A and B are shown apart, each in its own frame.
Chain A
């Protein structure tokens, strides 16, 4: 039955990896703001928008 100790050990290791990742992410400020991220992901960065009326994609991209 020793295999269970191996599995437990691996499970603990995986858990420790995740725990370290958790601590690191907290320290790096990942969770300082728990509101903005949920809004930010709603905005698109794509410059070419859908144009259902036109079969050709827009070639012109607004310049910056």
Chain B
């Protein structure tokens, strides 16, 4: 057998580790800033690009795609080479993967705070970035599959299977969810509307958790835990069962994010059933990971790497037990929209992804630099800071979620809501927000301790960029074995070609059948009184999207007595027909807004946006002075309406031509309404005079962003009148 010598590419692993730590600290720090905004809403007063709604997607994208993303690339690039006994297929692709990914992240860090967002959770980036992500992701996949082809080890270790599933599924999810029609360079509308958009989004959103945060990390677990413990995985057989059952079940669970919404019941129940089943493969994997340490628990006592990994796997177990429980409709009725979900995702993110990454980095860096960890003591300190941080973060959030949800549902004996003012339920949980911020601070301090330790470790060692290794060449399948072989047997030995052919075959068939039916059918019960947004309302809606209002306000009144009492008639699927994208939201830091239309005066909204505490004492909503002052950009309105027209919104060509006039008309009406308030008149007129006297440019109220936003808010949920409701319910 010929023994070959070759070099592993360590440099790419090192680059990804540096990026992991860099973006990890940034992403977590943004999260911490957001946590403090719950306690001090005015921290970034008046700075539009540091407002909560714009930073929230930056936090989620940074920790998911930048921190965890770079970590999974680091781990995959290291372990794939060793498991396949081959250098990565192409150094160029490795570097395209690395630099492309960093550029996308840098682009996200700039565009998200500036308000360029599609508003779909974890898919907020606008269309040019979506295309870039698809290209870079395919480069990664090509590199992975290329390495598999030239491998020196015929058998594919289970971790490789997890990586492969990650690549395939994320590619499909990303593309399907991000189908959108561009309006301008950084603005697009989702191809789907309302219920459809919600369903696609959460099919993606749930599987982003499954195939970006879970499957690659399970692969890493199956590589790094045995390596760190220096003993084989508890049961290789179980790992195989774990892999195949997990990937088959995960993809169906998405609708559990939409329980009790306007999504049809059968789809909800399908999601619930698969979510409950998911408990079994998840726990199979957890047990397999933990039992790998059987007989080696003495090592866990002294080795910080194993400590991190044990807590990571335990966190995985807790989060995947909680997931199926949260998918039960009766539990979900309490937990959904509350801070309970925040606790749930952070157990997953901080423990499973964070600690697995930390453990991996502590194990990898000494190896890459041919040295020992600089300080085991500091690593242990980091471990305890992180663990305490997770506990102090998660426990209060569970309490907060449960307390607030219970208060939302509390009735007096006379049938009125005990806490009719939403703000009472917010003030109640401020202490829990404090504790969360403290826990988060501890966790981040721990990350800084790691950074210091890793830098010192790297300094005392010397890196080997191209690691020499040797392995036997892959024995070819001899010609004797293939004598008289038919075409298909040949194909069967070529998994890549077979997969490609099969995929193409399946996709063609599926598309031909499905796409036409999508184009022609009426998919949602039509409510005739639901009309498209006026041009001004459409612009107002885009401001709502830009500011990330959806981060804290849902637009989905569930059919519970407590919600109908508080907000108004529960939401119907047909009401969202023209909502490209949907804005149902997933968290109620503030109240639901679906029935807010006509509830308050135009002046109330103006004052509330300018200074929320002036209308709602004790509110933790930040103020939006720029919306009140800035002129509305109306240059794209016609384009936007035309895109809407292609998407099936019945705007007439005449309406589009008259868009500017229509906006002026509606804006003037709102300006007139605002004049009802003498306080507004005096301050507005004073501003006007001041501008005139000093020769400054003055934007009339009717041309400002606030007027568009008011137009939109006053329209929300008002298309349904009492008589329509009867009609809908009899249908």
Contacts and interface: CB of A to CB of B under 8 A. Distances in A.
Whether chain B is bound by chain A comes out as yes
B5 interface: yes
Residue of B3, B155, B196, B573 with most chain A CB atoms under a 10 A cut-off: B155
Given A38-B233, A38-B236, A41-B226, A24 B469 contact: no
Contacts of B464: 48, 57
Interface residues of A, number: 49
B169 A47 contact: no
Nearest to A39: B232
B605 to A, nearest CB: 34
A44 B510 CA distance: 45
A45 B223 CA distance: 15
Contacts of A38: 226, 232-233, 236, 239
Contacts of B468: 46-48, 61
Main secondary structure of the interface of B (DSSP, over half): helix
Contact of A17 (B83, B168, B227): B168
B598 interface: no
Interface in A15-64: 15-18, 20-22, 24-25, 27-28, 30-31, 33-42, 44-52, 55-57, 61, 64
B230 interface: yes
Given A1-B523, A46-B468, A57-B370, A15 B248 contact: yes
B165 A18 contact: yes
Contacts of B513: 9
Contacts of B663: none
Interface in B474-494: 492-493
A34 B232 CA distance: 11
Contacts, number: 155
B155 A30 contact: yes
A27 to B, nearest CB: 6
B702 interface: no
Contacts of B518: 2-3, 6
A50 B495 contact: no
B452 interface: no
A25 B200 CA distance: 31
Contacts of A6: 176, 514-515, 518
Contact of A42 (B232, B237, B251, B507): B232
A2 B155 contact: no
A45 B85 contact: yes
A40 to B, nearest CB: 8
A14 to B, nearest CB: 6
B252 A11 contact: yes
18 contacts: A1-B196, A2-B521, A3-B192, A3-B523, A4-B199, A4-B267, A11-B203, A17-B499, A34-B237, A37-B155, A38-B226, A38-B233, A41-B227, A45-B82, A47-B469, A48-B468, A49-B370, A52-B370
Ranked nearest first, the 7 interchain pairs of A and B with the lowest CB-CB distance are A38-B232, A45-B469, A3-B196, A38-B236, A34-B237, A13-B506, A34-B236
